[in-house]
Structure 1
Amino acid sequence: MALEIGRRLVHASGATLPAAYLIDTHVLGTGLFTWSVVRALTVLGLLVTAILEAARLYGGLEHVIYDRLTRGYEADSVAGYAMYVLSSTVTVFAFEPRVAVPALFMLALADPVSGMLSGDQFRVVARPRVFVGMFAVSFLLAFPFVSLPAAAAGAFGATAADGVKPIVAGHVVDDNLTIPLFAAGAMSLALSVVG
């Protein structure tokens, strides 16, 4: 149980970057934490992650953090945190802040809620309560940033990415990779169609 709480806290820590951007942009107004800074920090995070994953998978790097925070099935494959960092980086470069920020919040905050609702049981298709919980939290995270239809579309994208786990070539597609991309893509599409 303590390990799951640790994983969820690490997951939620991903909200600090978009939150810092929002606080600087809308509260402090210092202009120090711009979207360009967010992009630069995600690239730096991606480079560090790539080095750590290469060292872990191919160089024999072992650390107590890996033992505690990675799952057994990640021992010989790219870990979920690397997918998380990769998708976050792509999201901040591919989408405007008003779409990217709530998409990152969905990954950082809604996904752990979904995990709690699922009881950490792997299912190719999640239980109904997981779909409902993920949609509700994702919608609440998106609505302050975009219109009602766009928030619903983003929540639907995040929920679909979280609740349906496709298996490609024997590997489960990690929702850390898909949640922000599906959510941001759906919000962008909804904004372009209905505003």
Structure 2
Amino acid sequence: MAASGTEWRERVEFERRLVHSGGTLYPVPYLLGWLTWTETRYFLVAALAIVLSLEFLRLVVGLDHAVYRKLTREYEADALAGYALYQLSMTGAVLLLEPTLAIPAMWMLSIGDPVSGALGDNDATEAKRPAAWIAMFLVCFGLAVPFTIPAFGPDVGVAVAVAGAAPAAVADGLPPIIRGVAVDDNLTIPPAAAGGMLLALAVLG
């Protein structure tokens, strides 16, 4: 028996979140000592080039296939898909930040966003429920403190983690609307988190 529309949507959303969480692995070779941070940057740039090439083929050439149709939402049909914006923000974090801040910012997207997404059933232009906001903040804070406390000490480290988690939760829960179009949180979460952490470090010295 064919799955209902609701069952199909839930399965697709689960598969999207599974793919989404795969980005958590990007910095793991660096953390294990298998790659340097420079080599990690090269890898992310190469991955971004592949993704942008795929999007060019989809949007300009018209190449379409089952993976696109299954994992691309309707509003992404004529614009860069979420996975491309995801790759862009991940690569930006790696290129512009050192590991202590880059890795938490990346994981806030790859781990925090799927967790909050599982708790919120909202359209792209709608704010998420309070439970999703709280979960996103707590997850992001928990991801940041193992990096920020060893690097900056307990007091500053906790403040920096809070300063990264709070804007990440806002970027996830309240998408900015530009000319009637919601800015995808795949693009905004890492920059928001990084900006908050950098601001905290600038203020706290």
Q: Does 1:191 align with 2:193?
A: no
Structure 2 distance, partners of 1:181, 1:20, is 23
Q: Conserved in 2, the CA contact under 8 Å of 1:118 and 1:126? A: yes
Match runs of 1:72-151 below 5 Å: 72-146=74-148, 147-151=157-161
Cα RMSD for the two superposed structures: 1.3
CA drift of 1:22 comes to 1.2
Amino acid in structure 2 at the alignment position of 1:12: S
Q: Classify 1:142/1:97 alpha carbon distance in 2 versus 1 (closer, same or farther; 3 Å).
A: same
5+ residue gaps, structure 2, are: 1-9, 149-156
Identity of aligned residues (%): 48
Residue 17 of structure 2 is matched in structure 1 by 8
CA drift of 1:105 comes to 0.5
CA drift of 1:8 comes to 0.7
Q: Does 1:53 align with 2:55?
A: yes
User: What is the total number of aligned residue pairs between the two structures?
Assistant: 188
Amino acid in structure 2 at the alignment position of 1:110: G
5+ residue gaps, structure 1, are: 25-31
CA deviation map 1:72-125 (0-9, x unaligned): 111111100110011111111111110000100001000001111112544532
Structure 2 distance, partners of 1:127, 1:5, is 19
Which of residues 26, 42, 45 in structure 2 aligns to 1:17?
26
Structure 1 distance, partners of 2:182, 2:59, is 18
TM-score when scaled to structure 1? Answer: 0.92
CA drift of 1:166 comes to 1.3
Structure 1 distance, partners of 2:122, 2:23, is 20
DSSP-derived class of the 1:143 partner: helix
Once the two structures are overlaid, the 10-residue window that deviates more, 118-127 or 168-177, is 118-127
Q: Conserved in 2, the CA contact under 8 Å of 1:124 and 1:166? A: no
Structure 2 distance, partners of 1:48, 1:117, is 32
Amino acid in structure 1 at the alignment position of 2:17: R
Q: Conserved in 2, the CA contact under 8 Å of 1:21 and 1:35? A: yes
Q: Conserved in 1, the CA contact under 8 Å of 2:121 and 2:128? A: no
CA deviation map 1:114-140 (0-9, x unaligned): 111112544532221111011011001
